[in-house]
Amino acid sequence: MEMIIESKTENSVTGLLVDEGSVLESCGIEIFDGLPDGEFEAIVAEVPPISVAKGTTFYSSEDGPSDLYLLRSGRIELYRQSASGKRLTLGIISEGAFFGEMSLLGDVQTGTGAVAYEASVVHVMSRDYVSALMLQHPTVAVRVVDVLARRLQKARESLQEMAFNDVTGRVAGLLLLLDPEDVGFVEGSSHQELADMVGCLRESLSDTLDRFKRSGAVTVGRKRVDIRDRSRLQRIVVQRSGARS
């Protein structure tokens, strides 16, 4: 259900992952950070950047990824889709992060899709290239471990939320997560997209938002939700997580 957001002021409730790799240092790629000067450039020289238009599919449900992708700029949506067309957004990968990690495994797993959420630039690296890289630069391997451990953590949190919270609680958590910095609003996502993140129907989501609106917790606009009473949303999340009675 939940996307998996990774951000500094992180909300552990939903486990959504957005803005992954937001803390960038020297080279702008999370797993290559801290390499000796010049190394990064040498590595990247081997795999020239490729620009893709919004909507480009990197791999889809039928064929899993066979490469690892480094996102140089733009945003990528990771998702799963059911036979009947229902979609579940697993996460949004943003600048500096990688995706397609299943390709690191010998046996390519099918099931996940990745599509460009907006125009993006990526480096494409083969499984073998990445393996060699990690063996040669242990710090890179350690960084990858770090990122994967974090994503696993988030995925399990999502699982937990899916298991314990009802739609109301999940939506409340999502809103808090999509506005971690407390900017006061969430913009750019349609109800359908939000629904895909929490794993419910669009109608159920609209309905839930409407209830939030009537209770004064939020205000809704087209592709926009303004958070009026953050603490109320927080209370909803707590109440709905496991204490159904």
Which residues would be at the binding site for a copy of itself (CB under 8 A)?
1-2, 12, 80, 82-86, 88, 90, 101-102, 104-105, 109-112, 131, 134-136, 138-139, 141-142, 144-146, 148-153, 155-160, 162-164, 199, 238, 241-245
Q: Which stretch binds DNA (CB under 7 A): 30-38, 66-74, 103-111, 189-197?
A: 189-197
Q: In angstroms, how far is the first alpha carbon of the chain from the final one?
A: 23
CB 186 within 8 A of CB 179: yes
Q: Is residue 235 a contact point for DNA (CB under 7 A)?
A: no
CB 93 within 8 A of CB 99: yes
Nearer to DNA, 101 or 207 (CB): 207
Judged by CB under 7 A, the residue of 41, 146, 203, 229 near DNA is 203
Strand runs (DSSP E) across the chain, as ranges?
49-52, 57-59, 67-73, 75-81, 87-94, 98-99, 112-116, 120-126, 185-187, 218-221, 224-227
Question: Residue 240 contacts by C-beta under 8 Å, 6 or more apart in sequence?
Answer: 165, 166, 168, 169, 170, 172
Q: Give which of a copy of itself, DNA, none residue 75 binds (C-beta under 5 to 8 Å, depending on kind).
A: none
Question: Residue 77 contacts by C-beta under 8 Å, 6 or more apart in sequence?
Answer: 89, 91, 92, 93, 114, 115, 116, 117
Judged by CB under 7 A, the residue of 68, 114, 209, 217 near DNA is 209
Residue 32 C-beta: closest distance to a copy of itself, Å: 15
Q: Is residue 222 a contact point for DNA (CB under 7 A)?
A: yes
Residue 200 C-beta: closest distance to DNA, Å: 4
Residues in touch with DNA (CB under 7 A): 84, 86, 166-168, 190-192, 199-204, 206-210, 220, 222-223, 244-245
